[in-house]
Chains A and B, each alone.
Chain A
Amino acid sequence: MALDPVDWHGRWNHIKKLLERGGPFAHPDFEASPETLGFILESCKILVIGAGGLGCELLKDLALLGFRKIDVIDMDTIDVSNLNRQFLFRRSDVGKPKAECAAAFVNARVPGCEVTPHYAKIQDFDSSFYRQFHILVCGLDSIVARRWINGMLISLLNYEDGMVDQQSIIPMVDGGTEGFKGNGRVILPGMTACVECTLELYPPQVNFPMCTIAHTPRLPEHCIEYARVLLWPQEKPFGEEVNIDGDDPQHIKWIFEKSLERAREYQITGVTYRLTQGVVKRIIPAVASTNAVISAACATEVFKLATSCCPPLNNYVNFNDTEGVYTYTFEIERKEDCPVCSQVPQPLNFSEDSKLQEIIDYLTESTTYQMKSPGITTMIDGKNRTLYMQTIQSIRQRTKENLKKSLQELGLTHGQEIYVADPTTPNALVFKLNFTTDMEHK
């Protein structure tokens, strides 16, 4: 293979050994050949989602594994507290968009690498954007975002005679970390368990009960939540309509001082500035090492998926180095009736006297769906009708009275298809209304 002018002698010696030599542990489809390196260098398009703790590591790893056509999406700007691990950023970069800084750094350090940054949200792109990539790899800190991108990839699948068309599958490698714990997984949409299949792996965040915060505080956290949730809206210390900005030291200082007052009243010890910030911003501790580990595992998987030099992870690994170094690897199974990837219609079992609010509550509270702010539409007499939508103020005003109406009153019938939109999914989920005589819910 002729030397690309941007390359130099010996540059790819290390990875060539995996690509130009077969071995007993390679993927059955693997054929040792110099063409695989060519594919990685010239054609393989990777999308990295997130340019933070995991994203910086992923970009470095992928670039040094030979990937050149890399896009990266991140909607955030750089903060001082990122600098202990997000190593593509310097102090002088604070305030700049992460995606742009990360791309510039890697492109300068790794000649020939073309990282294209997108300072945007994943939701700003549609299927035509995502369809162009061979593999996706995510370093997200949000379950909602994971579910959204998962939904997007599932929506790109083509089915023929009930079988998924392999060409339409875009593999997704997903990593997550928290302190000294982390996990990585390989998702082949339509074939292996998807994010939604395993929603129970992400239990909803537990908040402190309001009555504890308001009447019986015992922990310093209760005092902080009191200041954040009750006092701030009452006292509006920085003006009407000014919401808490966790990154504004003035805001944190105000909450900290009010928390101390509350704590003093009840003789509770332990309120510190650090704790206050942690509670208000829901801070998750983070170090460079765990991010390096999980990203590296994910990058290795991307490399395997792109080259077949070795079979990919099947399909989930847990990591924890609090005590010794522990990994646990296992195969997560698909959920047969997964709302997103199974193509099985989802039933909504309610009596016709149930109020629409009950359906909303079910969708948000059930561990199967864990929706954030569902909006419901349906077809009545051939016309699309919005029953309730809370994400747009004017529509919410118009439709909120429907919440108190019964399904029958709203003109819904047994077997009717209901479409539910939510931030956790790019396309509406389809449910089938199933009138029951009892107040039975699935």
Chain B
Amino acid sequence: MSGEKESLDKTRKYDRQLRLWGDHGQCALESAKVCLINATATGTEILKNLILPGVGSFTIVDGKKVTGEDVGNNFFLDKDKIGESRAQVATDLLLELNEDVTGNFMEESPELLLERNPEFFDTFTIVVAVDLPERVLHKLSGHLWEKDIPLMVVRAYGLIGSIRLVAREHTVIESHPDNAHEDLRLDRPFPGLTQYCDSLDLSTMKKKDHSHTPWLVIIFKYLQIWKEQHGGAAPKNYKEKNEFKKLIQQGVLRNEEGVPEVEENFDEAINNVNVSLVPTSIPSAVQNIFNDSECVNLQPESKPFWILARAVKDFVESVGEGALPLRGTIPDMTADSERYIQLQQVYRQQAAVEAEWVANRVQQLLQSLGKSKDTITEADVKLFCRNASFLRVLQYRSIAQEYDPATAKIGELVGNIEESDEDDAIWYILLRAVDKFYADFNRYPGVYDDQVEADIPKLKTCLAKLLHEYGNVYNIKDDFVHEMCRYGAAEIHSVASFLGGVAAQEAIKIITGQFVPMNNTYIYNAMKQTSVTVEL
């Protein structure tokens, strides 16, 4: 297939997802290399949801052979391959999902590979691990933390699941919030907006123009009138806002009989009073970014994100006069085409001017850091400015911090659970207890039928020891311990598949830098179809 034809075809195939993360997001995905440790059902389901959207490549590290039990819950294993390399069989069947993706495998125990050649993991964009005993997890996570490579640990255990994400520092420019406030600046109109609104005179307009004047302009004008009547102040409270709405209502044209005409633009103005009177402000998440030492103290190694953030901060503190660069978009509103487009242009032009200031500042900073001009392009600056209100930085705690009694938050968790054992976080504690059981007995509790009863007191002891290590004494109901033994480390396909979906999308967020990943532990309860995210 020719290059052009191939790219058209990929556009068709990926159309439904391109509408979510765009061509640039897709590019990032297609450049990514993912490592999966252990091709269990959970593992292959995660990979499936990365391969289908076109991840660049994957590598499976797994030293085990395919068993009958494995084939029973894993769509990407074959009963005719029982006894063969699980890594190889899974790789072959997964590759069938998408001809654009390359994949290979290492038939080697992850623990041995980590021992022999830890640098193997250094080329990956993200490492996903399933079914790892605690001691291997610690070695792996320690290495990846040093190398600043994101790690995701996923487990399906009976009707419970968990996902732990570690990414050191993750920055997001395009967070795509579901409910974003518009950036209209009616509380502090820029000169272009004032000029445009002043050029229109509602009192001399005929009905057609009057009814098609954008509500933005209407609110601007009536705000002017109100301020004149109230010593320069905008409507402050509920009572004043209602009076303001009534003032606008009075502006509706009346016919010869004095009956108010139907003017949808005035209705829209009144409906938008509350929202448009919210003062322009900088979200606290963005303030925190500006105050972060990485923004304040730029270095030659500083990521483009921080250089851009610093340039925007400098904008805010100088010509921006306390406001972020203008976003430059306005919502649709009842209006004639000409004046809507004119108004839209007013916002776009101001946004362009402000983005240009930021771009110049970026170049100054790059120069002072001895970095090339092309490190950050104009398009990068525009994207950053458009998303200035939505910037996010997530700092993750390491696995070491999670486990170390000096820094662990497990005590807090226990405190919250004492309030209500409806809290799904309780299952995190039980999963930790089960890992302790594994460390002590080299197996999980209740794997064989005749072990279930006998393992309950053993698991209870592990739980008590675990909590004691963290300075806690809490009696978790026996029911939970019993249920964990019932599960016997069963990996139920539908639970694995649920987690496969959630985890894959978290990986895509890390890879594309779009949308906001969770921080840092997700617990899923398939019994009640509930879940909770905790930071550990």
- A residues near B, CB below 8 A? 8-15, 17-18, 20-25, 57, 60-61, 64-65, 80-81, 83-85, 87, 90-91, 109-111, 179-180, 184, 212, 216-219, 266-268, 274, 277-278, 283-293, 295-297, 299-301, 303, 310-311, 313, 317, 320-325, 327, 329
Contacts and interface: CB of A to CB of B under 8 A. Distances in A.
A289 B73 contact: no
A65 B493 contact: yes
B497 A323 contact: no
A325 B225 CA distance: 46
Interface residues of B, number: 86
B339 to A, nearest CB: 9
B479 interface: yes
B92 interface: no
B331 to A, nearest CB: 10
Interface-centre pick from B175, B177, B449, B501 (highest chain A CB count, 10 A): B501
Given A288-B501, A300-B529, 4 more contacts: A13-B72, A83-B13, A300-B495, A323-B515
A10 B16 contact: no
A218 B335 contact: yes
Interface stretch (B45-53, B102-110, B244-252): B45-53
Contacts of B526: 297, 300, 310
A10 B67 contact: yes
Contacts of A57: 497
B200 interface: no
B321 interface: no
Contact of B518 (A83, A285, A324): A324
Interface in B483-536: 483, 486-488, 490-495, 497-498, 500-502, 504-506, 508, 515-519, 522, 526-531, 533
Most buried by B among A61, A218, A300, A310: A218
Given A81-B15, A286-B17, A291 B501 contact: yes
26 contacts: A11-B68, A14-B492, A17-B158, A17-B486, A23-B486, A24-B482, A61-B497, A64-B75, A64-B493, A83-B52, A83-B98, A87-B97, A180-B505, A184-B529, A218-B332, A218-B340, A285-B19, A292-B45, A292-B48, A293-B502, A296-B494, A322-B515, A324-B533, A325-B533, A327-B530, A327-B531
4 nearest A-B residue pairs (beta carbon): A292-B501, A10-B68, A293-B501, A296-B498
Interface string B60-79: 00000001110111110001
Given A84-B14, A84-B53, A18 B492 contact: yes
Choose among B332, B486, B487 the residue with the greatest number of A CB atoms under 10 Å from its CB: B486
B79 to A, nearest CB: 6
B443 interface: no
A265 to B, nearest CB: 9
Interface of B: 9, 12-20, 41, 45, 48-49, 52-54, 67-69, 71-75, 79, 82, 96-99, 158-159, 175-178, 212, 332-338, 340-341, 344, 446, 449, 452, 478-479, 482-483, 486-488, 490-495, 497-498, 500-502, 504-506, 508, 515-519, 522, 526-531, 533
B209 to A, nearest CB: 12
B68 A324 contact: no
B72 A64 contact: yes
A75 B530 CA distance: 33
A274 B498 contact: no
Contact of A216 (B73, B97, B212, B482): B212
Nearest to A91: B99
Contacts of A292: 45, 48-49, 497-498, 500-501, 504
Contacts of A80: 9, 12-13
Given A10-B67, A85-B16, A287-B505, A322 B52 contact: no
A25 B335 contact: no
Contacts of A10: 67-69, 72
B156 to A, nearest CB: 10
B337 A84 contact: no
A14 B337 contact: no
Contacts of B495: 296, 300
Nearest to A295: B497
Given A14-B72, A17-B487, A324 B517 contact: yes
A330 to B, nearest CB: 10
Contacts of B176: 322
A224 B367 CA distance: 46
Given A274-B18, A329-B530, A14 B79 contact: no
A325 B522 contact: yes
Contact of A285 (B16, B69, B71): B16
Contacts of A310: 159, 526-527
A320 B179 CA distance: 13
A296 B12 contact: no
A9 B498 contact: no
A313 B99 CA distance: 38
A308 to B, nearest CB: 13
A277 B15 CA distance: 10
Contacts of A268: 337, 341
A9 B504 contact: no
A15 B496 CA distance: 12
Nearest to B492: A14
A311 B527 contact: yes
A289 B502 CA distance: 6
Nearest to A20: B449
Nearest to A81: B15
Given A21-B449, A85-B16, A288 B486 contact: no
A218 B492 CA distance: 52
Contact of A87 (B52, B501, B522): B52
A97 B251 CA distance: 60
Contacts of A61: 493-494, 497
A170 B96 CA distance: 37
A435 to B, nearest CB: 33
Nearest to B172: A323
Given A8-B71, A180-B515, A287-B16, A297 B529 contact: yes
Nearest to B176: A322
Contacts of A283: 15-16, 19
Contacts of A284: 16
A324 to B, nearest CB: 4
A111 B81 CA distance: 14
Contacts of B49: 288-289, 292
Given A61-B497, A84-B14, A310-B527, A180 B20 contact: yes
Contacts of B502: 289, 293, 321, 325
A84 B52 contact: yes
Contacts of A267: 341
Contacts of B344: 218
B328 to A, nearest CB: 12
A218 B518 contact: no
A290 B526 CA distance: 16
Contact of B516 (A12, A290, A293, A324): A324
A301 B338 CA distance: 54
Given A61-B497, A292-B504, A24 B479 contact: yes
Nearest to A311: B527
A17 B69 CA distance: 12
Given A11-B71, A11-B72, A322 B516 contact: yes
Contacts of A287: 16-17, 20, 53, 505
A300 B478 CA distance: 25
Contacts of B518: 324-325
B531 A325 contact: yes
A58 B164 CA distance: 26
A323 B79 contact: no
Nearest to A11: B72
